[in-house]
Structure formats: C-alpha cells, structure tokens
Amino acid sequence: MKTYDVAVIGSGPGGYVAAIRCAQLGMKTAIIEKYSTMGGTCLNVGCIPSKALLDSSHHYEDTLNHLEEHGIEVPKGVKLNIKKMMERKGSVVEQTTKGIEFLMGKNKVDTYQGLGSFEDQTHLKITPEKGDAQIIEAKKIIIATGSKPSSLPFIKIDKKSIITSTELLSLNKVPEHLLVIGGGVIGLELGQVYKRLGAQVTVIEYMDRIIPTMDADQSKELRKVLKKQGVEFALSHKVKSVEKKGKEVIVKADDKKGKEIEFKGDYCLVSVGRRPYTEGLNLDKVGVNVTERGQIEVNDKLQTNIENIYAIGDVIKGAMLAHKASEEGVFVAEVMAGQKPHINYNLIPGVVYTWPEVASVGKTEAQLKEEKIEFKTGKFPMRALGRSRASGDIDGFVKILADKKTDEILGAHMVGARAADMIAELVVAMEYRASAEDIAIISHAHPTYTEAIKEAALDATEGRPIHV
C-alpha cells in the first residue's frame, strides 16, 4: 500500500493548488480525481469553457453589430458555426486540463483516477471507472470535492431541454428561446452568450434585481445594458413549475402581485445556485461534521472536527469562486507545514464576465448601512473617459466607498470594459488599507479605463473629479 503525507480528494482549483503547495513544502502528496480529466468544475464545465464561449460569442456579436461603425464593412451572410465554436472551447479546456496534469508531474504529485472514499481516518479507497479499487494511506487528507448545480424541488432536470450550465456549455444548436431561471452569475454570463448567438433570452429571477448579492447600482446598470442588448427580464417572479410539453418547456411563475405568468421556450437553464458535493466520500465512516446546508464544517484553520482532515473550496462555507478555493488550497498546505498563513475573505473579488464586466471587492453600500458604518461615495461614469469613447465601451461606472472619517476605502464596485482586470488595483489598495486620496494622487496611464478609478477616488475624497 502506498503511503503519503497528504492526499487531496478532488482536482479543482482548490485541490490541485493545495497539492502543488503541499509538494513545494516537501510533503509526499497524492491527488485523487473521479473524472478522467483534472481541473474540476472550473476547468471542465465552469470558468474556462464559459469564458471561451463568452469571448467567441463576443467576436460574433461585434462582427454582426459593431464592426461597421469602425469602418469595417462586413459582407452579408456572416454565418455562425456553433460546432466549430464548441470545438474551440473544447480545445481550450483540453489544453488547460492537460496543463494541470503537467504541473502534477512537475511537482511529483501522484495522481489517481477514481472515486475517493474514506475507509477510516487515514485510509482512502480509490475506485476507478475501470479496473480494481485500491487503498492508499495518508497522514493528512484534504477534501476538495467542490460543488454541483442545485435545483428547485419540483424541477426535473432532464439534461436535454431542462438543463444546467454543464449541458448549456455544450449545446450543438442555438436555442430559439432560452428561459433562464435565476439572474445570478451563471444565468447572466450564459444568457449573454446565447443572446449574442441569436436566441431570445428571458431571465426569470426571484428577487427584485439581478446579481442580488452585488451592489445595487451594479444590478441596475447591468440590467439596463443587457436589456438594451435584447435580454428580457421577469424580476420578482417566483417559479412554481417547469414542465415539458412536446418540444416546449413551460415555466409557470407568480409575479409580485401573485398573478400566474407562463413562459414558453425550447430550453430552460436552471441556474439558482450550486450545492456542496460530498456524495460518495463516505464521511459518516469517519464522522466528519456537515452543516444543514451540506457544507463540510471547518474551523479557522480549515480543519474539520477530525484533526487530520481538512476541507477547502466550494464544499465549505464562503463564496463559490475558483480563486477563493485556490487561496484556501495554499492556506491549508501552509497550515499543515506549521506556517501561519492568512486569507482576507473581505478582499476576495467577485466578477461577472458579461460585457461590460462587473467587478466588486469589499463592502457594498447595503452592507455598510447595515453595519452602521458612515461612508462617502465617489462615482465616475465610463462614458466620460477618452479610452471608453475610443473603443466604444461607454457603459458602466466605477464606484468607491470610503470611510467618512478616515477616508479608508471600504468597497469598490464597477461595471465596464475590463472591470475584471481593473478590480485588482482596488484589491491591492484595500489590502494595504489605502485611503481614497492615496488612489486619487497616483498617476494612472492615459488613456486607460483605470482613469475612472482615479476619478472615482477623487470624487470620494474631495468631491472633485476632473472630467465630469
């Protein structure tokens, strides 16, 4: 029987990063993945394929609708080849997952394909798709088994026309009318993909705004832009049934007055969140505690109630984000090595990769009000920037929230071209507890979208942006 210092169950951005860091710190490490490819949800059916399709569909939409304004005449009859678009996405995924295999080899991490389950506190059984099961021993075990799409109790996901993000990422045709239940990150990113490719898209959302966990101004701006692009919204609608009738999917929901509204489409994406995934782990055998919501319970060292067993990523509490899972992967390896690492959970940025992009870090206005923290607001519209007019990306804004007395930046929220990359400046600023004035007096290259950050900071600190 092979023995290890550490065995990691699950090869997503939590698990594979944990394995690399453990190996770097001198631990003999194994990683177990039940699927034949490494990389977990993120690389196979999450971040990477969705971004590949967002980019491809953006090119298509630009070709159809925006190249002419740049003086590029597009011949009539531009055609979409969805098969090729999907093949490209597949190849991006393959290159990325192969990269993880390479990194495992480079770091001398032993990889096992198969379902990992607990035999006891230090022994794992690995059951591959084909062939015999085997047992390995590990002094310490990291559970990084991630999450799966969740649904509503009355919905039967048939994976054909009532589907989750996993199936929608691999369709071989463009839906005529895509009904999206849930106006969160997945619904909007993938809704925009298929809107660009020619589908009618209707988002049915329970709350009175889309991306309800982000700052309310972002919800408003993104909805405005997506509406302009043709996405339809039914907010404050409580879905109560989803049924298939012939080729149609019929969604019934009550609007805020309690009136029943019927939506008909040929596909229905269920994107109402994800749930932690622990099936098949045999947690009962070792007595690892799980919360009512199915998350593995951990302490501030990400250690479960069983001393040598740790858990990270989507399977525990907190934001279900790849970079959060990876930070925890590094953290837990360093804890095991006796170091004292730190994660600032308040500064894990959140991004929606629609175009314009939406990005946030720190507290929203609503959170600051709830916590009774006095703050001031600085805001700057993207349309006032030369860079935005040059590229034609004039939608959106940067908003900075700073402490009323100390001027420390407490939150930053933006919608705009390349907001996903721009947010990094605010993450750094906030990690070093910068004031709005610190950002306002730093030179930002001209012309860039980041000038909106400087202007919003000027507005927050002194109420005097230059360009509005």
> Given the rule CB under 6 A, which residues bind ligand NAD?
152, 181-187, 189, 204-207, 212, 239, 271-274, 319-321, 351-353
33 binds ligand FAD (CB under 6 A): yes
Q: Are 107 and 53 in contact (CB under 8 A)?
A: no
Q: Residue 205 binds which one of ligand NAD, ligand FAD, none, with CB within 5 to 8 A depending on kind?
A: ligand NAD
Q: Give min distance, CB of 462 to ligand NAD, in A.
A: 34
184 binds ligand FAD (CB under 6 A): no
Stretch that binds ligand FAD, among 35-43, 202-210, 364-372, 386-394 (CB under 6 A): 35-43
Residue 46 class from Cβ within 10 Å (0-12 exposed, 13-18 middle, 19+ buried)?
A: buried
Q: Bridge-partner residues for 110, per DSSP?
A: 30
Q: Give min distance, CB of 175 to ligand NAD, in A.
A: 18
Q: Residue 332 binds which one of ligand NAD, ligand FAD, none, with CB within 5 to 8 A depending on kind?
A: none
What's at 251, amino acid-wise? V
Residue choice 104, 253, 281, 302 for contact with ligand FAD (CB under 6 A)? 281
Report the distance separating Cα 312 and Cα 295, nearest Å: 10
* Tokens encoding 88: 């490209």
Q: Give min distance, CB of 63 to ligand FAD, in A.
A: 24
Q: Residue 323 binds which one of ligand NAD, ligand FAD, none, with CB within 5 to 8 A depending on kind?
A: ligand FAD
Considering the complex, state which of residue 423 and residue 436 has its C-beta at the smaller distance from ligand FAD.
Answer: 423
Residue choice 167, 215, 221, 314 for contact with ligand FAD (CB under 6 A)? 314
Considering the complex, state which of residue 271 and residue 388 has its C-beta at the smaller distance from ligand FAD.
Answer: 271
SS3 category, 177:
strand
SS3 category, 379:
strand
Q: Residue 461 binds which one of ligand FAD, ligand NAD, none, with CB within 5 to 8 A depending on kind?
A: none
313 binds ligand FAD (CB under 6 A): yes
Q: Are 69 and 392 in contact (CB under 8 A)?
A: yes
Pick the catalytic residue from 59, 66, 446, 467.
Answer: 446
Q: Residue 184 binds which one of ligand NAD, ligand FAD, none, with CB within 5 to 8 A depending on kind?
A: ligand NAD
Contacts of 174 (CB under 8 A, 6+ apart): 80, 82, 194, 197, 198, 199
Considering the complex, state which of residue 86 and residue 321 has its C-beta at the smaller distance from ligand FAD.
Answer: 321
41 binds ligand FAD (CB under 6 A): yes
Q: Are 304 and 283 in contact (CB under 8 A)?
A: no
Dihedral of alpha carbons 136, 138, 144, 148, sign: positive
Q: Give min distance, CB of 335 to ligand NAD, in A.
A: 24
The Cα angle at residue 298 between residues 292 and 299, in degrees rounded to 5 = 130
Q: Which residue is nearest to ligand NAD (CB)?
A: 184
Q: Are 240 and 256 in contact (CB under 8 A)?
A: no
Q: Give min distance, CB of 311 to ligand FAD, in A.
A: 9
Report the distance separating Cα 248 and Cα 301, nearest Å: 49
47 binds ligand FAD (CB under 6 A): yes
Considering the complex, state which of residue 313 and residue 378 has its C-beta at the smaller distance from ligand FAD.
Answer: 313
Q: Residue 356 binds which one of ligand FAD, ligand NAD, none, with CB within 5 to 8 A depending on kind?
A: none
Considering the complex, state which of residue 73 and residue 292 has its C-beta at the smaller distance from ligand NAD.
Answer: 292
* Tokens encoding 192: 């925009």
Q: Give min distance, CB of 451 to ligand NAD, in A.
A: 25
Report the distance separating Cα 176 and Cα 352, nearest Å: 24
Report the distance separating Cα 396 and Cα 383, nearest Å: 7
Residue choice 5, 25, 28, 35 for contact with ligand FAD (CB under 6 A)? 35
Contacts of 313 (CB under 8 A, 6+ apart): 10, 12, 13, 14, 15, 144, 146, 324, 325, 328, 329
Stretch that binds ligand FAD, among 36-44, 80-88, 90-98, 431-439 (CB under 6 A): 36-44
| CB-CB neighbours of 302 under 10 Å | 22
| CB-CB neighbours of 150 under 10 Å | 15
14 binds ligand FAD (CB under 6 A): yes
Q: Are 30 and 2 in contact (CB under 8 A)?
A: yes
Could you confirm whether 446 is annotated as catalytic?
Answer: yes
Q: Are 299 and 5 in contact (CB under 8 A)?
A: no
Residues with catalytic roles:
446
Interface residues with ligand FAD (CB under 6 A)? 9-15, 32-35, 40-42, 46-47, 50, 115-116, 144-147, 165, 186, 277, 280-281, 313-315, 320-323, 325, 353
